[in-house]
Amino acid sequence: MIPFDFEYYKPDTIEDAIQLFNKLELDGKKPIYYGGGTEFISMARMYNKYTGAVIDVKGIPECNVFEFKNDNLIIGSAVTLTKIAEENPFPLLSLTVKRIADHTIQDKITLGGNLMGTIIYKEAILPLLLSNSEIVVQGDICKKTLKIMDLYDKKLQLADDEIIIQVIIDKKFLQLPYSHVKRTKNEKIDYPLITMAALNDNGKISVAFSGLCEHPIRSIDIEKILNNNSVSKDKRIKKSIDNIPYEILHDISGSSEYRKFILYGMLYELLNKFEEVS
């Protein structure tokens, strides 16, 4: 049971959502946006999150878009992980979201909720980082479309009143050769020890990780090291691991040394796999 009362709103337009947010904020309700509610509900039950009002974005048509327009795939923030996996326009994204939680929960979790959750893993972001996707955001003042790498610094840097409306992915990334590997401590359905997603764009590998550090990462420096084919695989991988730009996680799932050991094997398999492709 959630140990406090809160108001529930489901506006039909983005403008109404923003206006509601401002009004509820002024009323001291500390409003939050609501996607699938899986994080909000579990945190509220554990007394880890309080709000006097939630604003459900699932009634906003733009947040439910799932379509191709010009040379882009557009996915609304209220689209569920199940829908993304079933429609399957971007196989790397499908594979990634199919390994988040279980089937029942995937039916609830929205793309926007996974990207904006407080959980450190946010695995759906990995293919978006690799495909240089754009994020459409609406705030009180304006609507903006930003490259994900310009918006992402350990997390998507949004103000409290801003809503993710959509994600835009350039078609050219959708059918590139890809790899997705999720290693967990024990069970198949679990938080990642390390999840690695990668694309191979005409021999150039791009790679992103969740579970390795305190937040998902994509490092251009690591990609340069991995793509330097004049150096042996073993040396490239060891140098990549030495150049992870943030501290490697050390928690109950595994020590940082264990994660480095696992990562070595994952990168070795990745280089071998992409060697076969090219």
Ligand X SMILES: Cc1cc2nc3c(=O)[nH]c(=O)nc-3n(C[C@H](O)[C@H](O)[C@H](O)COP(=O)(O)OP(=O)(O)OC[C@H]3O[C@@H](n4cnc5c(N)ncnc54)[C@H](O)[C@@H]3O)c2cc1C
Mask for 41-70, x = binds ligand X (CB under 6 A): -x--------------x-------------
**Residue 114 binds to ligand X (criterion: CB under 6 A):** yes
Q: Which is nearer to ligand X, 2 or 271 (CB)?
A: 2
**Closest listed residue to residue 203, CA positions, set 231, 171, 229:** 229
**Residue 127 binds to ligand X (criterion: CB under 6 A):** no
For 228, the enclosing helix (H) or strand (E) is: none
CB of 43 to ligand X, least distance (A): 8
Helix 233-242 to helix 256-277 angle (10° resolution) is 140
The token duo for 45 is 């039950």
Cα(194)–Cα(260) distance, integer angstroms: 10
Which residue type occupies 241?
Answer: I
CB of 60 to ligand X, least distance (A): 9
Binding residue for ligand X (CB under 6 A) from 110, 200, 206, 253? 110
CB of 162 to ligand X, least distance (A): 7
Binding residue for ligand X (CB under 6 A) from 53, 65, 75, 164? 164
**Residue 163 binds to ligand X (criterion: CB under 6 A):** yes
Positions in the binding site for ligand X (CB under 6 A): 32-40, 42, 57, 77, 100-101, 105, 108-110, 112-114, 116-117, 119, 121-123, 163-164, 191-192
